[in-house]
Amino acid sequence: MKGRSGIQGVASSPVIVGGVTVLVIIVAVFLAYNANNGLPFVSTYDLTARVPNANALVKGNEVRIGGARVGVVSEVKPVQLGEGRVAAELNLRLDKNAELLPVDSTMIIRPKSPLGLKYLQIIPGSSDEGFEAGDTIPVSAARPEPVDIDQFFNMFDEKTRIGIKRGLAGFGNGLAGRGPQLNGAIGALRDLTESSQTVLSIIVDPSTDFDGFWRALEDLSATVAPVAETQASMFVALDRTFGAFARVSRPFIQETISKSPRTLDSVTADLPALRPFLNDSARFFTALRPGVRALAETSPTINAAFRAGIPALNASPVFYAQLTPTAEALLDFQNAPGVFNGLDLLIATNNVLNPAIKFIEPAQTVCNYLSLAFLNVASTSSEGNGLGNWVNAIGFEAPEGPNAESMPSSAPANGPDPANHLHYNPYPNTASPGQTKECEAGNERYKVGQTVIGNPPGNQGTKTSGQQSSGGGS
* Claim to verify: residue 293 and residue 416 sit in the same structural domain: no
Domain presence at residue 430? yes
* Claim to verify: residue 67 and residue 17 sit in the same structural domain: no
Domain presence at residue 26? yes
Indicate if the pLDDT at residue 467 is higher than 70. no
Extended strands (E) in 22-162: 45-51, 62-65, 68-82, 85-94, 101-102, 106-111, 118-123, 130-131, 136-137
pLDDT of 105 reads 92
Domain presence at residue 363? yes
Query: CA quadruple 175, 178, 179, 185: dihedral positive or negative?
Result: negative
Last residue of a domain, one of 130, 153, 176: 153
How many C-beta neighbours within 10 Å does residue 320 have? 9
* Claim to verify: residue 95 and residue 51 sit in the same structural domain: yes
Pick the more confident residue, 370 or 105: 105
Running DSSP on this structure, what letter comes out for residue 249? I
Domain presence at residue 204? no
Q: How many residues does the chain have?
A: 474
* Claim to verify: residue 17 and residue 109 sit in the same structural domain: no
- Range of weakest confidence among 1-5, 98-102, 359-363: 1-5
* Claim to verify: residue 119 and residue 19 sit in the same structural domain: no
Domain presence at residue 139? yes
Spell out a b/e string for 192-208, using b for 16 or more CB atoms within 10 Å of the CB, else e.
eeeeeeeeeeeeeeeee
pLDDT of 223 reads 85
- As a whole-number percent, the residues of the chain with pLDDT over 70 amount to 87
* Claim to verify: residue 322 and residue 365 sit in the same structural domain: no
Domains held by the chain: number: 4
State which residues form the domain around 107.
Answer: 42-153
- Range of weakest confidence among 22-36, 64-78, 90-104, 243-257: 22-36
User: Average pLDDT for residues 182-191, to the nearest whole number?
Assistant: 86
- As a whole-number percent, the residues of the chain with pLDDT over 90 amount to 3
Residues 6+ apart with CB under 8 A from 138: 50
Residue 247 bridge partners (DSSP): none
* Claim to verify: residue 87 and residue 121 sit in the same structural domain: yes
Domain presence at residue 441? yes
| 4 — pLDDT class (breaks 50, 70, 90) | low
Q: What is the pTM of this model?
A: 0.31
| 145 — pLDDT class (breaks 50, 70, 90) | low
* Claim to verify: residue 346 and residue 441 sit in the same structural domain: yes
Running DSSP on this structure, what letter comes out for residue 145? P
* Claim to verify: residue 300 and residue 323 sit in the same structural domain: yes
Indicate if the pLDDT at residue 471 is higher than 80. no
Indicate if the pLDDT at residue 146 is higher than 80. no
Domain presence at residue 165? no
Residues 6+ apart with CB under 8 A from 455: 425, 427, 428, 429, 440
Last residue of a domain, one of 131, 153, 175: 153
* Claim to verify: residue 352 and residue 292 sit in the same structural domain: no
* Claim to verify: residue 307 and residue 328 sit in the same structural domain: yes
What radius of gyration, in Å, describes the C-alpha atoms of the chain?
A: 53
| 470 — pLDDT class (breaks 50, 70, 90) | very low
pLDDT of 34 reads 57
